[in-house]
Chain A
Amino acid sequence: MTIDEKDSPASAIGKPVLRKEGPRKLTGQAKYVDDLDFKGLYGTTVRSTIPRGKIKAIHFDEGIPWQEFTIVTAKDIPGKNYVALILHDQPYLADGVVNHPEEPILLIAHSDKYLLERARQAVKIEYEKLPPVFDMQESLKAETVIWGKNNIFKSYLLEKGDIESVWSKADFIFEDEYSTGAQEQLYIENNGMMAIANPNEGVTVWGSMQCPYYIHKALVPLFGLSEDKVRIIQTETGGGFGGKEEYPSILAGHAALLAWKSGKAVKIIYDRAEDMVATTKRHPSRTRHKTAVSKDGRILGMDIQFLIDGGAYATLSSVVLSRGTIHAVGPYHVENVRIDAKAVATNCPPHGAFRGFGAPQSIFALERHLDQIAKKLNIAPEELRKRNFIKEGEKTSTGQTIHEGVSMDALLDRALAQTHYYEKRQQFAKNNDHRKIKKGIGFASFMHGSGFTGSGEKHLASKVGLRATAQGRVEILAASTEIGQGTNTILSQIAAETLNVSPDFIEISQPDTKHVPNSGPTVASRTTMVVGKLVQSAAIGLRQTLQQEGYLKNKYSEEELRQACASYIAAQGELQILVEYQAPPGIHWNDETYQGDAYGTYAWAVYVAEVSVDTTTWETKLDHFLALQEVGRVIHPLLAAGQIEGGVAQGIGFTLYEKVKWKEGRMSNGSMTNYIMPTSSDLPEIEVIFEEVPYKYGPFGAKGIGELPMDGPAPAILNAVAMATGREIKSIPMLPEDLMRASL
């Protein structure tokens, strides 16, 4: 099937059509889970206060009418007590042992939410403490084994060429170590779920989520029900950023367990403190680089050790590790590579998905490392990049041959010209000596793979439906969630363009596992590119069905399509097209060797940061930020820019503001008062430029963009700080006190 794009006079692609659900969000009418009409019980979670130990006894203090409460422990679970995701190591409720602070132990529910909170505090757990492990290096030594045989959730050894052969040929060998901290997703809507559940009707859950079918997959074994007895419905979702990828499976299960036992509807809404201390964060990382370089600045080999802290259970760590590993060499061509990557266990709450998914960690290390190498070689940082950028026909570290039609050289030149980089570098260097506020400009070059890694999309086998309604409109059926990024609008544009109607003609079905097929999780920068392509295919199928069966002419108006849909349904009852993902031709991946086409395509970028560092307070302020990227065809310029700006803001937070303080495996600054995210007055103007090289297998040429902007800010900013101050900071977040310490 092909589509002649020239035949689309109504073209919705590339236009800033109005956000589909915009008016209801702007008038307060959008219903988030805590806004739903609700009569039932409030639920809450009694959690571990220690990092690791055995549960000896549970005491219920006097003074609480416990007989009025519904209480659920591991013993009450009707099915299997594990959160089905990748491995089955994480229990819904601790059964005898706890492995991290804030681990759920029991659930209680009551109709009075104020009494409920008093009751929660009146449950006392008696423990026999076991020795915890909090440090990645210590975990790696496995002197205290806290998970499996050796504390290792997953390891990859990625090899290309012969790394051992390069050391003797190298003119220089550079070694260094970099680290990144945990980061809280900090969606402004906390996690929340509401459930009804009983043996006759099964389980229905409403809530804030990215992936309805992940929850569905987890609740089926939890209750031992058949798939058709579990129904998951997404309510309006106030941000996710990965934080509502896997965690909602736990919360949905908890609400449903309380509903199952009580026979009543149960709602659990976390407050900010609980959401911050108990739910997932970005994986902390440590990366070691050993790099062989020739004196003319060619990278001969890279030996990389990439280590991430997974927390107490496996959750998604293996997949986060995979993306971080594959992005560790960045957009460079290196003949000899070895990446030894490991995700290890510690006794803190599991780390999880967060925009970028491992890539911001390894790219931070790489792009800082390259700037340091350039400095030592006395080569300009841009020149070092140019001597090593990967070019058409060259192979990545997984052996993927690049055929993208994108020139990193050209992107870099444009970014540097746009920011007056050369002039500023000279000017700043000249002025900095005698100024208290020192200025710097720095950049990072990087790429980000679109969609699931390797054979992930093939295994997902996502499905999308398109349905004509009795009113003669067309409705998209997909489990892909609108979480602020614009799913509703973009999928409507794609369907509208394909059917040659206006986007208003298209309806979007609320993600509800009873009514929509599994279009896969809303993650991995895959919704526009992968799901959008399925929407396009389904729309072509719908149009051709109507045309082939004589309901629609080859050329038609919107009104004629409306009549055709209505007539078809009147005559035949239903018109629904279901399509399933098929890998584009020529994509090969070997799960065993970890070689092949890691991603169908990549987005490419150069980000430039301009900073002022006050050497009295050691505060770093961003003066300007440029985000230049090639992302294939831009479907919606306003939403796309919004994605980039928001991602850059989170990246700036990751770099300069957001520090999770750990105490015995527990976040000790779990409030917005002392975990600081950037406000409007902290951030600079973020300038966004898109280059568009259409991707053949994306809908109308689109690639993924959601995660990309998270990768670049940290190294660009710290490269600028290094220029301003001469301080080579290798660890983020870098708060003023960190920079001050490095400068004393």
Chain B
Amino acid sequence: MKIDLKLNGKNVHVEAPPMKRLLDVLREELGVTGTKEGCGEGECGACSVMMDQILVNSCLVPIAQCAGADILTIEGLGTSEDLHPLQQAFLECGGAQCGICTPGMLMASLELLRKNPAPNDQQIREGLAGNLCRCTGYMKIIDSVKKAAEVLK
């Protein structure tokens, strides 16, 4: 099926089977590989993207649901030369180690700060509980989100 959607601010057109996962369409058809697959069943959050300003697991979204949608992936957040404050905070505070959960974690952090611009530790822990990280024990991720919240205030 033919679908028009907005990806990171740009209008794009794709042709894909209706049940193809948004995750696969992004990675295979649209050439943005920053969004990762960790489990394929909505448990780990590595594939988190924003869809119409709502955090979704892109492994659970069939592309048929994305007609006209506004999708934001990690590629739309900031560049190496111009990091988003969240990315800068993760860099400075050690919020990324192996990096595989990082794009999804940043998306979840973005959603968290949008809903609650000044979260405390417990609110951050709850807000990011759908995104698994095996490297950090989450401490440095919490530090990163707090730092970004300060900067974005």
Interface, chain A (partner B; CB < 8 A): 16, 18-19, 21-32, 34-35, 185-190, 236-241, 271-272, 483-486, 638-639, 641-642, 645-650, 671-673, 677, 679-683, 685-686
Alpha-carbon distance between A271 and B40 when the two chains are bound, in angstroms: 8
**Nearest-Cβ distance from residue A254 to partner chain B, whole angstroms:** 20
Interface centre among A185, A186, A483, A672 (most CB of B within 10 A): A672
| 9 closest cross-chain pairs (CB), A and B | A28-B34, A484-B98, A238-B100, A25-B99, A649-B137, A645-B137, A484-B97, A28-B74, A672-B43
Alpha-carbon distance between A671 and B39 when the two chains are bound, in angstroms: 8
Beta-carbon nearest neighbor of B31 in chain A: A37
Alpha-carbon distance between A404 and B77 when the two chains are bound, in angstroms: 48
Known: A28-B74, A30-B99. A188 touches B140 (CB 8 A): no
Contacts of B34 in A (CB 8 A): 27-29
Contacts of B74 in A (CB 8 A): 27-28
**By the criterion CB–CB under 8 Å, are A673 and B97 in contact?**
no
Partner of B41, one of A27, A650, A672, A686: A672
Alpha-carbon distance between A449 and B129 when the two chains are bound, in angstroms: 34
Contacts of B32 in A (CB 8 A): 28
Beta-carbon nearest neighbor of B108 in chain A: A680
**By the criterion CB–CB under 8 Å, are B98 and A26 in contact?**
no
**By the criterion CB–CB under 8 Å, are B96 and A25 in contact?**
yes
Given contact pairs A185-B134, A187-B100, enumerate 10 new A-B contacts (beta carbons under 8 Å): A19-B94, A27-B77, A27-B79, A186-B134, A239-B97, A239-B134, A642-B140, A649-B137, A672-B39, A677-B134
Partner of A680, one of B38, B90, B141: B141
Contacts of A241 in B (CB 8 A): 134
**By the criterion CB–CB under 8 Å, are B136 and A189 in contact?**
no
Beta-carbon nearest neighbor of B101 in chain A: A188
Alpha-carbon distance between A485 and B136 when the two chains are bound, in angstroms: 10
Known: A188-B101, A642-B140. A26 touches B83 (CB 8 A): yes
**By the criterion CB–CB under 8 Å, are A237 and B98 in contact?**
yes
**By the criterion CB–CB under 8 Å, are A681 and B100 in contact?**
no
**By the criterion CB–CB under 8 Å, are B94 and A16 in contact?**
yes
Contacts of A638 in B (CB 8 A): 93-94, 140
Alpha-carbon distance between A241 and B98 when the two chains are bound, in angstroms: 11
Alpha-carbon distance between A402 and B116 when the two chains are bound, in angstroms: 53
Alpha-carbon distance between A11 and B73 when the two chains are bound, in angstroms: 38
Partner of B137, one of A35, A236, A237, A686: A686
Known: A649-B138, A681-B129. A236 touches B80 (CB 8 A): no
Known: A27-B74, A484-B99. A32 touches B140 (CB 8 A): no
Partner of A23, one of B38, B91, B103, B136: B91
Contacts of B92 in A (CB 8 A): 16, 18
Alpha-carbon distance between A189 and B100 when the two chains are bound, in angstroms: 6
Is B58 in contact with chain A by the CB < 8 A criterion?
no
Contacts of A681 in B (CB 8 A): 125-126, 129
11 residue pairs from A and B, CB less than 8 Å apart: A22-B96, A23-B80, A29-B34, A188-B46, A484-B135, A646-B136, A671-B41, A671-B43, A672-B43, A681-B125, A685-B139
Beta-carbon nearest neighbor of A650 in chain B: B134
Partner of B96, one of A19, A29, A32, A641: A19
Chain B: interface residue total (CB-CB under 8 A): 56
**Nearest-Cβ distance from residue B15 to partner chain A, whole angstroms:** 16
**By the criterion CB–CB under 8 Å, are A642 and B80 in contact?**
no
Contacts of A29 in B (CB 8 A): 34, 80
Known: A189-B98, A648-B137, A681-B126. A28 touches B90 (CB 8 A): no
Residues of chain B from 100 to 153 with CB closer than 8 A to chain A in the complex: 100-103, 106, 121, 124-126, 128-142
**By the criterion CB–CB under 8 Å, are B39 and A485 in contact?**
no
Alpha-carbon distance between A239 and B43 when the two chains are bound, in angstroms: 18
**By the criterion CB–CB under 8 Å, are A680 and B138 in contact?**
yes
Alpha-carbon distance between A685 and B142 when the two chains are bound, in angstroms: 10
Partner of A25, one of B27, B78, B102: B102
**Hey, what's the 0/1 contact readout for B27-55 against A, CB within 8 Å counting as 1?**
10000111111111101101000000000
Alpha-carbon distance between A240 and B138 when the two chains are bound, in angstroms: 17
Partner of A673, one of B43, B94, B125: B43
Is B75 in contact with chain A by the CB < 8 A criterion?
yes
Known: A27-B74, A681-B129. A32 touches B79 (CB 8 A): no
**By the criterion CB–CB under 8 Å, are B128 and A680 in contact?**
yes
**By the criterion CB–CB under 8 Å, are A188 and B38 in contact?**
yes
Alpha-carbon distance between A187 and B97 when the two chains are bound, in angstroms: 12
Contacts of A641 in B (CB 8 A): 94, 139-140
Beta-carbon nearest neighbor of B78 in chain A: A27
Interface centre among B43, B99, B132 (most CB of A within 10 A): B99
Contacts of B75 in A (CB 8 A): 27-28
**Nearest-Cβ distance from residue B137 to partner chain A, whole angstroms:** 3
**By the criterion CB–CB under 8 Å, are A642 and B138 in contact?**
no
Alpha-carbon distance between A27 and B91 when the two chains are bound, in angstroms: 11
Partner of B44, one of A484, A485, A672, A685: A672
Contacts of B132 in A (CB 8 A): 188, 672, 677, 679
Alpha-carbon distance between A251 and B39 when the two chains are bound, in angstroms: 19
Contacts of A646 in B (CB 8 A): 97, 134-137
**By the criterion CB–CB under 8 Å, are A188 and B98 in contact?**
yes
Contacts of A21 in B (CB 8 A): 99
**Nearest-Cβ distance from residue B27 to partner chain A, whole angstroms:** 8
Contacts of B98 in A (CB 8 A): 25, 187-189, 237-240, 483-484
Alpha-carbon distance between A272 and B36 when the two chains are bound, in angstroms: 12
Known: A23-B83, A27-B74, A29-B34. A239 touches B41 (CB 8 A): no
Partner of A642, one of B36, B44, B130, B135: B135
Contacts of A23 in B (CB 8 A): 80, 83, 87, 91
**By the criterion CB–CB under 8 Å, are A645 and B36 in contact?**
no
Alpha-carbon distance between A19 and B94 when the two chains are bound, in angstroms: 8
Contacts of B39 in A (CB 8 A): 272, 671-672
Beta-carbon nearest neighbor of A38 in chain B: B28
Contacts of B77 in A (CB 8 A): 27
Contacts of B27 in A (CB 8 A): 34-35
**By the criterion CB–CB under 8 Å, are A27 and B87 in contact?**
yes
Alpha-carbon distance between A438 and B82 when the two chains are bound, in angstroms: 50
Contacts of A34 in B (CB 8 A): 27, 33, 37
**Nearest-Cβ distance from residue A657 to partner chain B, whole angstroms:** 12
Contacts of B121 in A (CB 8 A): 685
Known: A28-B74, A189-B38. A22 touches B91 (CB 8 A): yes
Alpha-carbon distance between A8 and B34 when the two chains are bound, in angstroms: 39
Contacts of B137 in A (CB 8 A): 642, 645-650, 683, 686
Beta-carbon nearest neighbor of A240 in chain B: B98
Contacts of A272 in B (CB 8 A): 38-41
Alpha-carbon distance between A419 and B135 when the two chains are bound, in angstroms: 25
**Nearest-Cβ distance from residue A512 to partner chain B, whole angstroms:** 19
Alpha-carbon distance between A686 and B140 when the two chains are bound, in angstroms: 10
Beta-carbon nearest neighbor of A22 in chain B: B91
**Nearest-Cβ distance from residue B42 to partner chain A, whole angstroms:** 9
Beta-carbon nearest neighbor of B92 in chain A: A18
**Nearest-Cβ distance from residue B17 to partner chain A, whole angstroms:** 9
Contacts of A190 in B (CB 8 A): 37-38
**Nearest-Cβ distance from residue B61 to partner chain A, whole angstroms:** 18
Alpha-carbon distance between A24 and B124 when the two chains are bound, in angstroms: 24
**Nearest-Cβ distance from residue A167 to partner chain B, whole angstroms:** 43
Contacts of A679 in B (CB 8 A): 128-130, 132
Interface centre among A240, A241, A685 (most CB of B within 10 A): A685
Partner of A26, one of B35, B38, B90: B90
Contacts of B38 in A (CB 8 A): 188-190, 272, 672
Alpha-carbon distance between A682 and B90 when the two chains are bound, in angstroms: 21
**By the criterion CB–CB under 8 Å, are B33 and A31 in contact?**
yes
Alpha-carbon distance between A271 and B21 when the two chains are bound, in angstroms: 15
Beta-carbon nearest neighbor of A28 in chain B: B34
Interface centre among B27, B43, B74, B140 (most CB of A within 10 A): B43
**Nearest-Cβ distance from residue A88 to partner chain B, whole angstroms:** 32
**Nearest-Cβ distance from residue B134 to partner chain A, whole angstroms:** 5
Beta-carbon nearest neighbor of A272 in chain B: B39
**By the criterion CB–CB under 8 Å, are A236 and B99 in contact?**
yes
